[in-house]
Structures are given as C-alpha cells and as structure tokens.
Structure 1
Amino acid sequence: MVVYKQAESLKELEQILDLQQRNLPKNISQEESTKEGFVTVEHTLDLLKSMNDVCGHIIAVDDGQVVGYALCMHPQFAEDIEVLRPMFGEIDKALESKLNYMAMGQICVAKSHRGQGIFRKLYQTMQEKLPEGFDTIITEVDGKNKRSLAAHTAIGFTTLTIYHSDGKEWHIIMLK
C-alpha cells in the first residue's frame, strides 16, 4: 500500500536522489525520455536537505521504498539552482498579484508505479501540507516533456507563461 507523507529521514532523501538519477536524460534513452518523460535538475543531498528543512518534500512510499516525490522549493531557494533562476524571475513578472506560492521543484514517479494515480496524489498531499499562508503551487515543465505537460494539465494546472531560456521552451504552470 502506498503511503503519502513528507520526507523525514536522510534515507528517504537518498531514495529521492536515487529515483532522480534513474530519470535524468543522461541516464535514459531519447526514446524513453519522449515516451515516459524525464527530470531536468540534479540535486545534491545538501540542497535537498536544506529545502526539506524549510518545507518537507512530498513522497510516496511503498514497502519502505520511495516510489514518487514532489519537491517543495520555497522561493528563498530561487538562486540556488542555476537552471531554475530564470523561472523565478518569470514567475515574478507574470504574477498579477503577489500570491504566496510554493514552487514544486520536481516531480517523479518510479516506472514501476506509473499509471496508478500517484502523480495526482502527490500534488493533493502537497496542497494539504503547504505552509500556512501559501495560495498556490507553481512549477515549470520543459516544453519537450509532453508527458509531464499532459499530466499536469489533467490535474488542473494552467499556463501562467511560456518563456525561452538556455535553448529550451519552458512552460510555467500553476495550480490554485
């Protein structure tokens, strides 16, 4: 049975990093990245822990193993990951009002557990666990990651803006 919760241990953070590694473009074929999707950012354990200390990452655990995660990235970490810096600038430009938002820094579900509603439940749990005063969840998806864009749209994300950076088209999307 899959349990949804916030990450609490170093072991869980290490399992997040292991799952991340198995879904980076450098570790999967082009065909698999097109069909299954991929993750873009490679985190360090120190950064992942720092982010978790501010707002616990949401994880799906099955039989003691992390099989899915949604990383909570408080805007205070806007400068810590180079590839995400432009996203935070674009969010600030695109938001009409000063919403208090949590950035979802990355979401991933193990291949063995895809198609079982884990993606949707990770976001539901994230919404439930948002710190007091946060209005929405915002994230960005590489325009080439059609599987991820479709999955986010299916659970109610809408496009805030689209921009280009580092030769890629990025879709900033939000869930209220």
Structure 2
Amino acid sequence: MVRYTQATSDGHLEQILELQQRNLPKNISAEELKNEGFLTVEHSFSILKEMNEECGHIIALDHEKVVAYALCMHPKFSESITVLKPMFHEINLAISGRQNYMVMGQICVDKNYRGKGVFRKLYETMQAKLPEGMDTIITEVDAKNQRSLNAHLAIGFTELKRYQGDDGKDWVLIVL
C-alpha cells in the first residue's frame, strides 16, 4: 500500500535521486521520452537536502521504497539552480510580487505506479503540507512534455503563461 508523506531522511533523498536518474532524458529511449514524459533538472544531494530542510519534499512510499516524489522549492531558492532562474523571473512577472507560493520543483512517478492516481495524490499531499501563509503551487512544464502537461491540467492546474527560456525551449508556467 502506498502512503504519502514528507521526506525525513537522507535515505529518502538518495532514493529520490535514484528515481530521478532513471527518468532523465540521457537515461531513457526517445520513445519513452515522447510517451512517458521526462525530467529536466538533475539535482545534487546538497541542494535537494537544503530544499527539503525548508519544506519537506512530498514522497510516495511503498514498503519504505520511494516510488514517486514532488519536490518542494521555496522561492528563496530562486538563484540556486541555474536552469530554473528564468522560471522564477517569469513567475515574478506573472504574479507581480506575491510571495504566498511554493514551486513544485519536479515531479516523478516510477513507471510501475503510473496511471494509478499517485500523481494526483502527491499534489493533494503537497497542498495539505504547504507552510503556513502559502496557498498556491506553481510549476513549469517543457511544452514538448505533453504527458506531463496533460496530467497537470487534468488535476486542476491552469496556465499562467508560455515563454521561451534562455535555453531556447518553450515552457508552460502553470498554477494550482
């Protein structure tokens, strides 16, 4: 039985990184990339831990094995990951100075657990565990990652804006 909670140990963080590695474009086929979705950011253990100390990442555990995660990224980390700096810039333009949001930094569900409601439950848990004073979750999806975009829209996210990043990719900024 899958249970949902916040990451509380280095072991949880290490398992998040293992699941992340299995879903990066460099480690999956072109067919998987198109049909299953993909991750964009490769985190270091140290930044993952720092982020977790500010707001615990949401994890799905099956017999203590991390089978899915949604990373919580407080706005104070806006300068910590180079590839995400443009996203924070666009968020600030779109919501003009509001600070009552948490960024969902990355979401991933193990292949064996997809299509079973895990994605939705991760976000429900994240909403329930937002720090006091925060009432909004914002994230972005690579416009080419149609599976992820459709999944987010299906659970209630709405589009804030589309933009082209410094990397030349098209991004969709969405809010829940």
Question: Which runs of 5 or more structure 1 residues have no equivalent in the other structure?
Answer: none
The answer on whether the counterparts of 1:102 and 1:138 sit within 8 Å (CA) in structure 2 is yes
2:163 corresponds to 1:168: no
1:78 equivalent in structure 2: 78
Aligned to 1:124, the other structure's residue is in SS state helix
CA offsets, 1:69-125, max 9 Å, x none? 000000100011111000000000011562510000000000011011000000000
CA offsets, 1:114-168, max 9 Å, x none? 0110000000000000000002000000000000000000000000111001110
* Cα shift at 1:63: 1.2
- Over the aligned positions, Cα root-mean-square deviation in angstroms equals 0.8
Aligned to 2:90, the other structure's residue is in SS state helix
* Cα shift at 1:60: 0.1
2:102 equivalent in structure 1: 102
The answer on whether the counterparts of 2:138 and 2:173 sit within 8 Å (CA) in structure 1 is yes
> Number of residues paired by the alignment?
175
1:13 equivalent in structure 2: 13
2:63 equivalent in structure 1: 63
Q: Equivalent residues in 2 for 1:1-176 (5 A)?
A: 1-96=1-96, 98-165=98-165, 166-175=167-176
The answer on whether the counterparts of 1:99 and 1:135 sit within 8 Å (CA) in structure 2 is no
The letter for the 2-side match of 1:139 is: T
Scaled by the length of structure 1, the TM-score of the pair is: 0.98
Runs of 4 or more consecutive aligned structure 1 residues displaced over 4 Å after TM superposition: none
Aligned to 2:17, the other structure's residue is in SS state helix
The letter for the 1-side match of 2:161 is: T
The answer on whether the counterparts of 1:2 and 1:63 sit within 8 Å (CA) in structure 2 is yes
Aligned to 1:5, the other structure's residue is in SS state strand
Aligned to 2:141, the other structure's residue is in SS state strand
CA offsets, 1:21-69, max 9 Å, x none? 0000000011101000001000000000000000000000001100000
Question: Which runs of 5 or more structure 2 residues have no equivalent in the other structure?
Answer: none
Structure 1 Cα separation of the partners of residues 75 and 97 of structure 2: 16
Structure 2 Cα separation of the partners of residues 37 and 4 of structure 1: 22
The answer on whether the counterparts of 1:58 and 1:122 sit within 8 Å (CA) in structure 2 is yes
The answer on whether the counterparts of 2:105 and 2:139 sit within 8 Å (CA) in structure 1 is yes
Aligned to 2:40, the other structure's residue is in SS state coil
